[in-house]
């Protein structure tokens, strides 16, 4: 029987509610093993959601649409009101509202762990990226299938933790699908297959743009509710803090970083030099509003990844993949390949499908068939490609892939508690900032 | 000269015509929103007293404290046969039926990114430095994650990818900024203005003189075609540019089957998020579908790339051929009528 977080919580303090539900969930978790891989699965799949914002709610909707026998049973976020809003909305769906059976709603920094241990089969991880390594590791340790949004970390130690979790998921044969959605887009799949099949000859260079408006601009400090702790205020405005979002290059332009790595068949670059900065006041946040990262890959292949988040400027998200025999263009209508003399050699034909839904169709289909999909290692490598570009800009240094992979600089505040004091560091200064 | 006289006479006669009817008049109005609408209406009334405008004349507007402007063309009151039948007409264009309309002004061009970006971003409109109480009370688009022109160009190009709700709210914002009442045209107003007294709105030079469509809109950067700067083709007989082609245009109406009876100032009030009626065809449509009578029904799939729940009420992520222009009725309606035009009440997608 579904109970709403609100009615469950009505008669108790928030803290007590978490404690009590946590205890009950612990009992359920003792009954694990859940879904066994290697054989088809026919029973209802219980889904848990960590991070109930718009993207998390969207992922839950896609999970419930992907498979008629899925149920959303547990949700987590830092705040009861956010959970309640998402639950109310999901329950209101004509298509899947009846399968929103939230027995457990958890609030707070450690709520993710309670969802993982509430008897779910599949975890949807959609909290801010800074939390992903911790959430993903806990989910895989508890033998859960996972959908993990991009990017997967905001610093190098986080990327390494995710790499270990991905390997463990493979060893355990758990399904793991990443939110690098373009890999699930038939239009771009066909375009990149053309490149891999030699349609543009030998690769020369790739110019990739993510020029957009600001995503979630920082509100003024005056809007901060009285008594709200630093960490909670930063989480509520997570996009504006590097430890939470990874900065614009890592949080948004990482989609292009993923296409760069996809074209390279996920083989890493040698090194990167980058510039970046902030032209519009940060309003208390500490992310840049523009970057340009120049990567060197083997065989002299050069990749230029540029992003900007400013209003009133030229905007475009394009990829120009240049080879000796042609150029692949992504982002100007249908993907197409032009020869050096401007003739259209290939163009995508057909219907583009919904890549966000496709991710979940693949995830749940693979669990059902007993052949869990877990080859999305690019969750870590594509994140690191963007991250090394960011760190090269922050530091003003040339960085190698190995330097970036092995960096020990951790951005996560300690202690990680909602009420803790944490003054966010100022904007990085190239030549002084260490990465 | 003769035409102008006719226009004036028609406008006088039209003062007798019925006002728009509201099938859902009993709907509850949000008191806070109604107060905002009433404040804007009072501003408009004060403005009109200061600068009365002859309804027969076109004019230019510059949005106060900006460099962005647009033209307004007078559209005379009149009666016409809406819809089409016979060869070339799709079933939804019939039955043809007589429609009588009050006079209004219509924007001579599609709304540009130059104007629309000021609505999206208060800093672009100078409203951070110079806050306006009337404008502060209005809802504004959330910042989009995607780049909404998709690299097709901003300055001087038509704005695209907005929802009908966003177009309604732009009309409200522009009304507050300028002190003139704007809203989307009804489907009948749009078709009447497109025809401009001719059967198809096209002069002797033919469609290519007036319209960017799939057959003529490719560029070096966009082999599949794209939108073009506003007003780079010839206007129709009433001075309206790009009614045919370039970008499709939102109307105020729910998309619904026509009925044969005569109508006065028809407005098909929306009771569902989809479909709304969209008109004029675009750079993405075959020439045969770029006509004054062709109708397009909006679809939820126009938001396919939006991965959130709820999906944004502001952006159509997959409609890179969809824009709008606004009308200004010659007679200022009641605050409730204004409220209804700016608040469809069905802006949220089903899921």
Measured between CB atoms, does B124 come within 8 Å of chain A?
A: yes
**Is residue B32 very low, low, confident or very high in pLDDT (cuts 50, 70, 90)?**
very high
Is the CB of residue B310 less than 8 Å from the CB of residue A90? no
Paired tokens of B188:
């009948």
Chain B partners of A214 at a C-beta cutoff of 8 Å? Answer: 143
Tell me which residue in B151, B223, B307 faces A316 most closely, judged by beta carbons: B151
Question: How many CA atoms lie within 13 Å of B91's alpha carbon, on the beta-carbon side?
Answer: 1
Q: CB–CB of B146 and A90 under 8 A?
A: no
Q: CB–CB of B143 and A338 under 8 A?
A: no
Chain A partners of B66 at a C-beta cutoff of 8 Å? Answer: none
3-state secondary structure chain A: CCCCHHHHHCCCCHHHHHHHHHHHHHHHHCCCCCCCCCCCCCCCEEEEEECCCHHHHHHHHHHHHHCCCEEEEEEEECCHHHHHHHHHHHHCCCCCHHHEEEEEEEECCCHHHHHHCCCCCEEEECCCHHHHHHHHHHHHHCCCEEEECCCCCCCHHHHHHHHHHHHHHHHCCCCEEECCHHHHCHHHHHHHHHHHCCCCCCEEEEEEEEEECCCCCCCCHHHCCCCCCHHHHHHHCHHHCHHHHCCHHHHCCHHHHHHHHHHCCCCCCCEEEEEEECCCCCCCCCCCCEEEEEEECHHHCEEEEEEEECCCCCCECCEEEEECCEEEEEECEEEEEECCCCCEEEECCCCCCCHHHHHHHHHHHHHHCCCCCCCCCHHHHHHHHHHHHHHHHHHCCCEEHHHHHHCCCCCCCCCCCCCCCCCCCCCCCCCCCCC
Q: CB–CB of B154 and A217 under 8 A?
A: no
**Is residue B27 very low, low, confident or very high in pLDDT (cuts 50, 70, 90)?**
low
Chain B partners of A61 at a C-beta cutoff of 8 Å? Answer: 309, 351
Is the CB of residue B129 less than 8 Å from the CB of residue B295? no
Measured between CB atoms, does B121 come within 8 Å of chain A?
A: yes
pLDDT of residue B332: 96
User: What pLDDT, in 10s, does the model give residues B322-348?
Assistant: 999 999 999 999 999 999 999 999 999
pTM for this model (two decimals): 0.88
CA distance B219 to chain A (A): 11
Q: CB–CB of A55 and B307 under 8 A?
A: yes
Q: CB–CB of A58 and B304 under 8 A?
A: no
Q: CB–CB of B223 and A89 under 8 A?
A: no
Q: CB–CB of A344 and B223 under 8 A?
A: yes
Task: Give the ipTM of the model, two decimals please.
Answer: 0.83
Measured between CB atoms, does B308 come within 8 Å of chain A?
A: yes
Q: CB–CB of B143 and A214 under 8 A?
A: yes
User: Of residues A226 and A28, which shows the higher confidence score?
Assistant: A226
Tell me which residue in A216, A354, A356 faces B143 most closely, judged by beta carbons: A216
User: What pLDDT, in 10s, does the model give residues B224-255?
Assistant: 899 999 999 999 999 999 999 999 999 999 99
CA distance A216 to chain B (A): 7
CA distance A23 to chain B (A): 30
Tell me which residue in B151, B309, B350 faces A332 most closely, judged by beta carbons: B151
- Chain A interface test: which of B66, B125, B141, B151 (most A C-beta within 10 Å): B151
pLDDT of residue A4: 33
Mean pLDDT across chain A: 91
Nearest CA in chain A to B219: A332
Paired tokens of B256:
């619904």
Is the CB of residue A424 less than 8 Å from the CB of residue A234? yes
Look at strands A302-309 and A290-296 and give their pairing.
antiparallel
Q: Measured between alpha carbons, how far is B234 from A346 in angstroms, rounded to an integer?
A: 35
Chain A partners of B350 at a C-beta cutoff of 8 Å? Answer: 94
Average pLDDT over residues A265-275: 98
Tell me which residue in B151, B222, B308 faces A317 most closely, judged by beta carbons: B151
User: Of residues A297 and A38, which shows the higher confidence score?
Assistant: A297
Nearest CA in chain A to B227: A333
pLDDT of residue B28: 83
Tell me which residue in B143, B223, B320 faces A217 most closely, judged by beta carbons: B143
User: What pLDDT, in 10s, does the model give residues A162-180?
Assistant: 999 999 999 999 999 999 9
CA distance B247 to chain A (A): 15
Q: CB–CB of A336 and B120 under 8 A?
A: no
> B31-50 and B164-178 are packed helices; what angle lies between their axes, rounded to 10 degrees?
40
- Chain B interface test: which of A89, A332, A334, A351 (most B C-beta within 10 Å): A332
- Chain A interface test: which of B114, B308, B312, B320 (most A C-beta within 10 Å): B308
CA distance A42 to chain B (A): 25
Q: CB–CB of A213 and B226 under 8 A?
A: no
Interface residues on A facing B, Cβ-Cβ cutoff 8 A: 54-55, 57-62, 86, 89-90, 93-95, 181, 210-217, 252, 311-312, 314-318, 331-334, 336, 338, 342, 344, 347, 352, 354, 356
Closest CA to A144 of A1, A35, A235, A278: A35
Mean pLDDT across chain B: 91
Q: CB–CB of A58 and B224 under 8 A?
A: no
Asked if residue A301 has pLDDT above 80, the reply is: yes
User: Of residues B124 and B175, which shows the higher confidence score?
Assistant: B175
% residues pLDDT > 90 (chain B): 77
Asked if residue B52 has pLDDT above 90, the reply is: no
**Is residue A9 very low, low, confident or very high in pLDDT (cuts 50, 70, 90)?**
very low
Nearest CA in chain B to A353: B304
Average pLDDT over residues A196-219: 95
CB pairs under 8 A between A and B: 95
Average pLDDT over residues B35-54: 91
Chain B partners of A315 at a C-beta cutoff of 8 Å? Answer: 147-149, 151, 154
Chain A partners of B225 at a C-beta cutoff of 8 Å? Answer: 333
**Is residue B221 very low, low, confident or very high in pLDDT (cuts 50, 70, 90)?**
confident
Chain A partners of B214 at a C-beta cutoff of 8 Å? Answer: none
Q: B43-47, B85-89, B189-193, B315-319: which range is least confident on average?
A: B85-89
pLDDT of residue B71: 98
Asked if residue B143 has pLDDT above 90, the reply is: no
Measured between CB atoms, does B149 come within 8 Å of chain A?
A: yes
Q: A427-431, B23-27, B171-175: which range is least confident on average?
A: B23-27
Chain B partners of A181 at a C-beta cutoff of 8 Å? Answer: 307
User: What pLDDT, in 10s, does the model give residues A400-424?
Assistant: 999 999 999 999 999 999 999 999 9
Is the CB of residue A332 less than 8 Å from the CB of residue A187? no
Measured between CB atoms, does B45 come within 8 Å of chain A?
A: no
Q: CB–CB of A311 and B124 under 8 A?
A: yes
Q: CB–CB of B147 and A212 under 8 A?
A: yes
Chain A partners of B145 at a C-beta cutoff of 8 Å? Answer: 212, 215, 252
- Chain B interface test: which of A333, A336, A342 (most B C-beta within 10 Å): A333
Chain B partners of A82 at a C-beta cutoff of 8 Å? Answer: none
Average pLDDT over residues A264-273: 98
User: What pLDDT, in 10s, does the model give residues A25-44?
Assistant: 333 333 333 455 567 888 99
Q: CB–CB of B143 and A213 under 8 A?
A: yes
């Amino acid at each position: 029987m579904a109970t709403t977080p609100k009615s469950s919580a009505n008669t108790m303090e928030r803290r007590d509610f978490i404690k009590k539900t946590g205890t009950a969930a612990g009992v359920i978790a003792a009954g694990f093993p859940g879904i066994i891989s290697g054989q088809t699965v026919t029973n209802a799949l219980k889904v848990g959601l960590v991070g109930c914002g718009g993207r998390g709610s969207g992922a839950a909707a896609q999970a419930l649409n992907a498979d008629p026998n899925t149920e959303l049973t547990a949700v987590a976020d830092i705040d009861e009101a956010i959970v309640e809003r998402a639950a109310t909305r999901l329950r209101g769906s004509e298509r899947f509202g009846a399968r929103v059976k939230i027995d457990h709603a958890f609030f707070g920094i450690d709520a993710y762990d309670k969802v993982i241990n509430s008897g779910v089969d599949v975890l949807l991880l959609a909290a801010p990226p800074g939390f992903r390594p911790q959430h993903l590791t806990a989910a895989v340790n508890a033998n859960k299938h996972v959908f993990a949004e991009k990017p997967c970390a905001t610093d190098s130690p986080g990327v390494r933790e995710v790499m270990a979790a991905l390997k463990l998921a493979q060893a355990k044969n758990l399904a793991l699908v990443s939110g690098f959605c373009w890999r699930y887009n038939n239009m771009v799949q066909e375009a990149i297959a053309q490149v891999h099949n030699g349609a543009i000859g030998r690769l020369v260079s790739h110019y990739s743009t993510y020029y957009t408006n600001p995503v979630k601009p920082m509100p003024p400090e005056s809007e901060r509710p009285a008594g709200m702790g630093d960490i909670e205020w930063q989480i509520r405005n997570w996009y504006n803090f590097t430890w939470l979002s990874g900065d614009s290059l890592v949080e948004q332009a990482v989609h292009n970083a993923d296409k760069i790595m996809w074209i390279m068949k996920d083989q890493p670059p040698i090194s990167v030099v980058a510039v970046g900065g902030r032209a519009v006041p940060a309003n208390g946040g500490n992310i840049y509003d523009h970057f340009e990262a120049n990567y060197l890959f083997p065989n002299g292949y050069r990749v230029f990844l540029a992003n900007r988040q400013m209003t009133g400027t030229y905007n475009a998200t394009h990829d120009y993949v240049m080879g000796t025999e042609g150029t692949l263009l992504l982002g100007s209508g249908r993907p197409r390949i032009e020869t050096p003399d401007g003739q259209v050699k290939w163009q995508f034909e057909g219907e583009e499908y919904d890549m966000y839904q496709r991710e979940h169709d693949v995830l749940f289909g693979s669990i059902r068939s007993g052949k869990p999909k877990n080859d999305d290692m690019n969750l870590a490598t594509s994140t690191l490609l963007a991250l090394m570009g960011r760190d090269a800009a922050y530091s003003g240094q040339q960085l190698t892939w190995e330097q970036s992979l092995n960096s020990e600089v951790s951005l996560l505040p300690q202690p990680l508690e909602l009420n803790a004091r944490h003054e966010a560091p100022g904007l990085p200064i190239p030549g002084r900032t260490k990465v | 000269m003769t035409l102008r006289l006719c226009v004036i006479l028609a406008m006088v006669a039209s003062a007798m015509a019925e006002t728009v009817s509201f099938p859902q008049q009993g709907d509850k109005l949000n008191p806070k929103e109604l107060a905002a609408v009433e404040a804007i209406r009072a501003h408009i009334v004060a403005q009109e007293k200061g600068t009365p405008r002859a309804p027969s004349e076109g004019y230019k507007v510059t949005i106060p404290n900006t460099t962005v402007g647009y033209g307004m063309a007078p559209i005379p009151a009149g009666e016409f046969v809406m819809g089409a039948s016979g060869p070339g007409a799709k079933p939804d264009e019939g039955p043809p039926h007589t429609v009588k309309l009050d006079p209004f002004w219509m924007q001579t061009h599609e709304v540009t990114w130059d104007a629309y970006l000021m609505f999206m971003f208060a800093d672009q409109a100078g409203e951070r430095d110079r806050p306006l109480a009337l404008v502060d009370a209005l809802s504004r688009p959330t910042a989009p994650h995607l780049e909404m022109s998709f690299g097709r160009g901003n300055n001087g190009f038509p704005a695209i990818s907005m929802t009908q709700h966003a177009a309604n709210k732009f009309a409200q914002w522009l009304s507050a900024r300028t002190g003139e009442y704007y809203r989307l045209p009804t489907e009948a107003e749009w078709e009447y203005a497109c025809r401009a007294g001719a059967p198809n709105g096209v002069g002797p030079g033919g469609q290519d003189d007036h319209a960017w469509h799939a057959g003529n809109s490719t560029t070096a950067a966009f082999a599949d075609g794209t939108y073009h700067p506003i007003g780079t083709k010839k206007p129709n007989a009433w001075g309206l540019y790009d009614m045919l082609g370039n970008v499709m245009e939102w109307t105020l109406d729910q998309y619904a089957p026509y009925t044969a009876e005569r109508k006065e100032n028809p407005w098909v009030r929306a009771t569902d998020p989809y479909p709304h009626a969209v008109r004029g065809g675009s750079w993405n449509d075959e020439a045969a579908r770029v006509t004054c009578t062709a109708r397009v029904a909006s679809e939820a799939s126009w938001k396919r790339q939006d991965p959130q729940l709820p999906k944004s009420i502001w952006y159509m992520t997959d409609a890179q051929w969809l824009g709008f222009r606004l009308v200004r009725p010659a007679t200022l309606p009641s605050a409730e009528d204004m409220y209804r035009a700016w608040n469809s009440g069905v802006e949220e997608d089903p899921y």
